[in-house]
Every structure is written in C-alpha cells, then in structure tokens.
Amino acid sequence: MTVKHDKINPALSRRRLLQLGTAATGLVLMKPFVARAQENGPGVTATEIKLGQTGPYSGSASAYGVQAKSSVAYFNWVNDNGGINGRKVNLISLDDGYSPPKTVEQTRKLVEQENVLAMFGSVGTPTNTAVQKYLNQRKVPQLFIGSGASQFFDPEHMPMTIPWQPNYALEGSVWAAHILANFPNAKIALLYPNDDFGRANINGFKEKLATQSAATIVAEQTYESSDPSVDPQIITLATSQADVFINMGTPKFASQAIRKAAELGWTPTQYVHSGSNSIDVVLKPAGLEKCKGLLSLAFMKDPAGEAFKSDPFHDEYLAWHAKYLPDSNISDTAVTFGYIRAQTMHQVLERCGDDLTRENLMAKATSITDLQLPLILDGILFNVTPTDYSGVRSFQTIEFDGDHWVPKGDVVKV
C-alpha cells in the first residue's frame, strides 16, 4: 500500500474490512487463486476485473454523482492494497446526466465495447429503469444499484437486477406510520418528482395512509427534473394550510422546497427523503436555521456526527476519505452510500474467488445473509436471497436540531 496513516495498520485494516460480516454470513477470506481468465466472464483477465457504472456527474441530479465517485474511490483504495484475489478492479464510471437516453447509450458502450463483467452501482431510478430490460435480456448483472424503486425488487422477472437501497415504498410506508402515530388528524401536503422515484415513494405512503382515514392528503404537487425550481409548487402547497409536509424532492429541489416554505412562513412538520438529508448538499443551501425540526430516515451512520467519533471504524474511514475523496464533504450521505455499495461488491467479488463468471457472480450476490457493514447503523442488516432482493428493511427516524441529525427512538424493522 502506498498510503500511510499514523493510526492505521494498512494490512490489518484491509483484512478487517474483508472479514466484516463473516460471523453472520459465513464469508471468509480466500487466498489468491491461479488465474484462469479464459474460463471467466467478459472483462476478466489474469490481472483485472472490469466493471461498468453510470452516474449523474452532470445535470439536475448531479448531487447524486458523488455516489459514483465514492465507489470509484473505494476501488482505488482496494487496488492500492493489492486488489481482490490478485486482480485489480477497473471500475469504468461514465456520466449519464441523469438522462435515460444517455444512460442507454453509455450502458451499451460499457457492455458491448468495454465488455464489462457486470454493471455495478449505477445511480438513479429512471436511468436504471431505462436499461434494466436490456441488461436482463443479455444476462448482464446489474448489481447494487442506487435506487429503491419497486421494479428493482423482482427476482422472478428481472433476476439480474439487485438494488442496494431500502425499497422506496417501504420508506413511504414508514413515514405514513409515523404520521398516524404522532399526528393522527394531520392535513398532509405532498411534493415529489413526476418519475418512477417519486411515484414509488408516494404510492407506498398512500397505501399505508389509506389504512386510517383521519389523516388526509389536502394538496399534492409534482415537478419535472428539468424544472428550474419548485417555488410555484411550494406556493400552491402552502395555500392548503397543511400541517404536515412530505418533501420527497431530490437534493436540489428538496433544498429549494425547504427554503421557499420558510420564506412563505409555512411551518408544517416536514419530512425529507433519506436521499436528500445531506447537511452540506441540501440543508446548508436552504439555510440551517430553516431546517431545525426536519424529520428524515436513516439506515447509515453519519461520519460527521458526534457518535461516529467513538466508532471503531472512525480513523480508517476518515483516512480513506482524506486520501481518496478529499474534495467531497464527509457528511454527504452520497459519499457514505457509494462506499457501502462498493464494499458490498468487494465482498461478493472476494467470495467468487477465481470463478468470475457472470453466473457465479450472481450466485454469490444472491446469497448474502445478515451482512453488517461498519457504516450501517448497528442492528440493521443487509440480506439478499435468490427469491428476495429486499436488502435493508430497517430504519431509524432522525430529527435535525440545527447542527446535526439526532436519532429519535429505536431502529424500526418493516
């Protein structure tokens, strides 16, 4: 390893990472194998494993592009530590601008020209939807994607697609349950994007809310990703005098919504989607003073939070971030999420040993039991079986106190 940090033993650090979850999952470290590249899948040689990825490095959802950058940075760290079973991981990450037609173009390039073994960690609901059928028909693994839309949890019809994110419908249902328990007579206003991401969240919310009739939706607005702002939508929602506001905007629009609501003097209890609760990317642009009391959900630890300072993984993670992703903010949840997805992919590749066919890759990716990674909240586990791609089904409610997100109550399993 070429990087040295005073508080880290690199060899022990790498070994510790690779062994995470072994007690629960039966994952074990494997000794390097003699390469048999001719028997392996596309993109695999004696020295390399080639993976493909698309992400929004530009466009309206560019705040999510950091997820892709974080995954690339993680595998740069892996490669500097000797790779996986003697091979370096070549993760080719291309910009799709959060535009489905561009995603199709870039994905076809990665599969048909770069001959990647698998697509990994691509970001976005509409973008992954645009290539899901193509990848499944060609039997190209589409692993640990950055979306929780319901169509990706379908092992029967789309077995090559595995998400690494809680199902959006589950998140929506958790919010509805929280409202029913705490604000049973709420008048609710909704904001969400007019795409698969928005509809998945809101459908889950509405289905759960329908189980009790006292709380009602009194106003509902959508937006397009090409809209310059959601100010008109917030002005309309504010006139409803709703006392609960479900803000399902992506980062740029979530921030605009928070700011505009405050400017209008509209102060409902506001819930912000877990993918848009970054302090630096969303809350600071909106104005921290306007964000106090916001509610959100978490399943990951906050590397910038006070609790993480005493975490056993604290020094290792901060050292990685300082060396491999120094231009990003460590409190950005997109950084954490990209890291977690890459760490999961690392474990799957490690378990494949020298059998790096697409078939074996899928076999290992669909046999993950009670995986606890160091950046997931304690007690929240990741599971994938051949018939259930649910992944994570647990959340913790968090509240913003003006400086930090503070846990509220226990972890809840759905």
Assigned domain for 405 exists: no
Distance CA 340, CA 42 (A): 25
Same domain for 119 and 239?
no
> Of 268, 298, 328, which marks where a domain is finished?
298
Q: What is the mean pLDDT of residues 278-286?
A: 91
Reported as a pLDDT band with limits 50, 70 and 90, residue 34 is very low
Same domain for 121 and 154?
yes
Reported as a pLDDT band with limits 50, 70 and 90, residue 196 is confident
Question: Domain containing 380: what range?
Answer: 10-166+303-393
Per-residue confidence (pLDDT) for residue 323, from 0 to 100: 98
Chain mean pLDDT for the chain: 89
Per-residue confidence (pLDDT) for residue 130, from 0 to 100: 97
Per-residue confidence (pLDDT) for residue 52, from 0 to 100: 98
Instruction: Answer yes or no: are the C-beta atoms of 108 and 135 closer than 8 Å.
Output: no
Instruction: Answer yes or no: are the C-beta atoms of 292 and 272 closer than 8 Å.
Output: no
Per-residue confidence (pLDDT) for residue 169, from 0 to 100: 86
Instruction: Answer yes or no: are the C-beta atoms of 86 and 32 closer than 8 Å.
Output: yes
Reported as a pLDDT band with limits 50, 70 and 90, residue 28 is very low
Assigned domain for 408 exists: no
Same domain for 329 and 187?
no
Assigned domain for 1 exists: no
Distance CA 102, CA 65 (A): 15
Distance CA 110, CA 104 (A): 10
Query: Is the pLDDT higher at 136 or at 279?
Result: 136
Q: What is the mean pLDDT of residues 95-107?
A: 97
Same domain for 160 and 16?
yes
Task: Sheet with 382-385: list strands edge to edge.
Answer: 368-371, 382-385, 388-391
Reported as a pLDDT band with limits 50, 70 and 90, residue 5 is very low
Least confident of 67-81, 196-210, 276-290, 334-348: 196-210
Distance CA 156, CA 335 (A): 31
Assigned domain for 5 exists: no
Q: Tens digits of per-residue pLDDT, 110-158?
A: 999 999 999 999 999 999 999 999 999 999 999 999 999 889 999 999 9
User: What CATH number does the domain containing 208 carry?
Assistant: 3.40.50.2300
> Of 245, 269, 298, which marks where a domain is finished?
298
Assigned domain for 145 exists: yes
Assigned domain for 413 exists: no
Distance CA 227, CA 229 (A): 5
Same domain for 122 and 141?
yes
Q: Tens digits of per-residue pLDDT, 164-194?
A: 988 888 888 899 999 999 999 999 999 999 9
Q: Tens digits of per-residue pLDDT, 308-363?
A: 999 999 999 999 999 999 999 888 889 999 999 999 999 999 999 999 999 999 99
Same domain for 243 and 309?
no
Statement: residue 9 has pLDDT above 80: no
Statement: residue 36 has pLDDT above 70: no
Q: Which residue has the tokens 């399902």?
A: 248
Percent of all residues in the chain with a pLDDT value above 90, rounded to a whole number: 71
211-220, 234-243, 323-332 — most confident range: 234-243
> Of 253, 275, 298, which marks where a domain is finished?
298
Same domain for 179 and 147?
no
Assigned domain for 46 exists: yes
Statement: residue 19 has pLDDT above 50: no
Among candidates 130, 160, 128, which has minimal Cα distance to 147?
128
Q: Tens digits of per-residue pLDDT, 370-410?
A: 999 999 999 899 999 999 999 998 899 999 999 889 888 88
Reported as a pLDDT band with limits 50, 70 and 90, residue 411 is confident
Reported as a pLDDT band with limits 50, 70 and 90, residue 254 is very high
Query: Is the pLDDT higher at 103 or at 213?
Result: 103
Among candidates 128, 131, 96, 117, which has minimal Cα distance to 51?
117
Same domain for 43 and 138?
yes
Same domain for 157 and 21?
yes
Reported as a pLDDT band with limits 50, 70 and 90, residue 1 is very low
Q: Could you give the number of structural domains in the chain? A: 2
* Identity of residue 368: I
Same domain for 51 and 139?
yes
Same domain for 255 and 245?
yes
Assigned domain for 335 exists: yes
Same domain for 54 and 201?
no
